[in-house]
């Protein structure tokens, strides 16, 4: 059995991971509703220029937080791909 401080840290990491997944689920729901609106308006579901802006913004924001920009890009490319796969 690991020492108490290891178990506590693992619990804290588990909580953060669950919080991240909660946010991903909320984002997916919002994207779904957004796609409904875009379809009703006859707008394209995917906007490559918006995606490029989003990636640049998330990379810069990550760097300000001390998170590698490359990590942010990998995360958000996966999120965008998930969104596109639902269109």
pLDDT digits (tens, 9 = 90+) for 13-54: 999 999 999 999 999 999 999 999 999 999 999 999 999 999
Provide CB contacts within 8 A for 77, sequence distance 6+: 55
Q: Is the Cβ–Cβ distance between 60 and 69 less than 8 Å?
A: yes
Rounded to two decimals, the pTM is 0.89
Q: For residue 13, what are the CA distances in angstroms to 9, 20, 22, 48, 70?
A: 6, 10, 14, 34, 22
pLDDT band for position 2 (cuts 50, 70, 90):
confident
Cα separation, 79 vs 53, whole angstroms: 15
Average pLDDT taken over every residue of the chain = 96
The residue among 81, 79, 84 whose CA lies nearest residue 27 is 79
């Amino acid at each position: 059995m690991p020492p108490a401080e290891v178990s506590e840290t693992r619990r804290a990491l588990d909580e953060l991971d669950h919080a991240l997944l909660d946010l991903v689920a909320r984002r997916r729901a919002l994207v779904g509703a957004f796609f409904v609106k875009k379809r009703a308006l006859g707008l394209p579901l995917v906007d490559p220029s918006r995606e490029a802006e989003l990636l640049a913004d998330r990379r810069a924001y990550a760097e300000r937080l001390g998170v590698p920009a490359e990590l942010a890009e990998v995360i958000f490319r996966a999120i965008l791909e998930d969104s596109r796969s639902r269109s």
